[in-house]
Amino acid sequence: MIKSVLNEQDYYRKVFGGWLGKNIGGTLGGYDEGKTERLDLTFYPVIPDKPIANDDLDLQLVWLHALEQYGARITSKELGQEWVEHVFFPFDEYGYSLTNLRYGLQAPLSGSFNNPFTDCMGSPIRSEIWAMVAPGAPGVAAYYAYQDAIVDHAGGEGVYGEMFFAAIESAAFLESDKERLIQIGLSFIPAECRIANAVSDILHFKAIGKSWIEARELIVSKYGNYNFTDAPQNVAFTILGWIYGDSFEDCLLKTANCGYDTDCTAATLGAILGIIGGADSIPERWVKPIGHSVVVSPQIKGFSVPADLDELTTRTLQISKEVIAIWDIPVAIEGQHPTRIEKDNLLIPGEWSGDYNPRGLLEQSVSVNRYLLPEGAALNQGLEVCVDYGPEGPAVGLMERKKLIISLRNRSKELWEGKLALEAPAGWRTEEAPFYQLQPGEKLEWETDVATGGDRQPFYELTFRIDRWHDNSLWNSHNVRFILISSGYWKLWGPSSSQHTEAVVPGNRLSFSKLLGTEEPGMYIAKTTLINPRKRNVRLIVGTPFPVKVHLNGEIVLEDHELRDFVPGYHRSYMHRLFEIELAEGEHVLEIEAQKGNEPLELFVLPVAFTRTKTPGGNYYFTDILFGSGDEQRYTSSVYEK
């Protein structure tokens, strides 16, 4: 295959332009983020002297550090490690994913379990880094985007949004035609997903002569969601500005003026336009107010942040050389030759296979964790181990039987044989694991039950041991460590209940229709014991659209009689759906009343930190607080410390 050539200076200008456009769009939209009405911006609403700090860029600086740390074969496992070390954001899907990662879960479970925000914009906004290190290789960029997005969006539209944008931005190094770029992006995501449908609708509205304002209203009517970060509406707005606008400025303003997640939509479009046209194509009037500085949020910590866009671009280019070599991307970056584009080199999904087929990755279950052996392997050329937790995910109750399906597939060219074992916490019972013998390509599936004990912990560590034999003797052992999280215990009453129903609930969402089997309007009650292992300040979010009343140890601590939209974020819940308190060590009786109307009743109960904490990064989830144990009528100490 004849390689495309990107002159090194041209490549530099495109990468620099992408980062610069990202900063401009994020600053333009940052002041109006969350406004769902149509806006009337004509320039920055507040003239800045530097870019606004924005998670759109922040997280990509972490990923640049991760690429420098782990290399071009980086996966979701390493990206998850980076979250815990360097990202202290509590925002929506970030907060839920970070909670799961702190328990010890890995992607995709870190992104899918107990996460109501998998369809949101947290991952589509961080696609550029993958495109820039894989120029002209949309399949590689989409692969990286998948590995990134499943950490906090597994199973949701957020994954599709990041893959869509990463493919477009990678192809934009070799292609500038809007229509072809959009089709390349669509080729990497399911045709039936909401993002694909919304993008297709925008293209249709433009083709039949609808104005951008009419197109915006049609998107809102069909895809509009009261959560302003829902991805389909926002991805559509990014494309709207691109295809309706006739200049850098006009494109950005049309996108930002659609409202909703304005910093994200404008920042992504700014990056796309910056990559296509290079830094020189961006009008000076948009550049001058913000300059070339890099501004980082205080919750991003623990590594060397680029001082400015020049350093960011240089470090991006350094990593790209390794990525291009590892993936054998048919693009050469050369200092002595002019840019020469071979457009047929833009790989489409049909040309990919195996583990590195980005469309194939979307077919993998989000309730299964996969491990490659020997530990630390980046290539799937040894033993592949999968742990399937089942429909309830990685949650388990006391004195409960939990079914696990553990499979092994030999991806090597040698025989693997030996003995298996499952090691569980003290007091648990496990079944005898089988011997195994796997020829190259063969698979073994072991369906087993574990019986939990009576010792209540926030989470439990299990180890699946694979002893490998050589010449009928033990040669070495491989250990796969995985986590089960403690379920919550609740007593529930419906409107017609005289007796309570006891429920074991994985995660923080109480779905009353599922748990009680009724949709009857009226008063519902949920009761549990909140077990707090140490005295601390706690923000307790009690989230539902319906009127609620909350008792803690017999005293009313929250009462709200209004119907309200509710978004169960750790950091942005309505003040009338939470209370903050200094909570004593011990057990506290929590009782919640909810007046259900005709819609389904769901209730989120979230114990998180205060916003202001000792170091930046408040509103994080308390993973050591438990729900329910023993007699719910008893508590050991007053919730109020004098």
Name the nearest CA neighbour of 119 among 194, 169, 56.
Answer: 194
- Alpha helix stretches (DSSP H) within 496-571: 512-516
Judged by DSSP in three states, 372 sits in strand
What is the rounded end-to-end Cα distance, in angstroms, of the chain?
Answer: 76
Cis peptide before 391 (omega within 30 of 0): no
> 401: which strand partners?
451
The set of long-range contacts for 369-373, using a CB threshold of 8 Å and a minimum separation of 24, is 369/105, 369/106, 369/108, 369/109, 369/482, 371/480, 373/466, 373/478, 373/480
Alpha-carbon dihedral sign for residues 250, 253, 257, 261 = positive
Q: Which two tokens stand for residue 557?
A: 């601590």
DSSP notation for 329-365:
-SEEEESSS--B--GGG---GGG--GGG-HHHHTTS-
Distance CA 324, CA 333 (A): 9
Distance CA 233, CA 113 (A): 24
Q: How many residues does the chain have?
A: 642
* Residue 351 φ then ψ, to 5°: -90, 0
Contact between 28 and 283 (Cβ < 8 Å): no
Name the nearest CA neighbour of 347 among 135, 41, 89.
Answer: 135
Residue 449 marked in a binding site: no
Contact between 78 and 66 (Cβ < 8 Å): yes
Name the nearest CA neighbour of 266 among 611, 23, 612, 617.
Answer: 23
Residue 261 marked in a binding site: yes
Name the nearest CA neighbour of 110 among 433, 366, 423.
Answer: 366
Contact between 628 and 489 (Cβ < 8 Å): yes
> 371: which strand partners?
385
Distance CA 88, CA 270 (A): 26
Q: What are the DSSP E strand ranges found in 459-598?
A: 459-470, 473-486, 488-493, 501-505, 509-511, 522-532, 536-543, 548-552, 555-560, 578-583, 586-596
> 511: which strand partners?
602
Distance CA 266, CA 124 (A): 12
Distance CA 464, CA 478 (A): 8
Residue numbers belonging to the annotated binding site: 261, 263
Binding-site residue set for Mg(2+): 261, 263
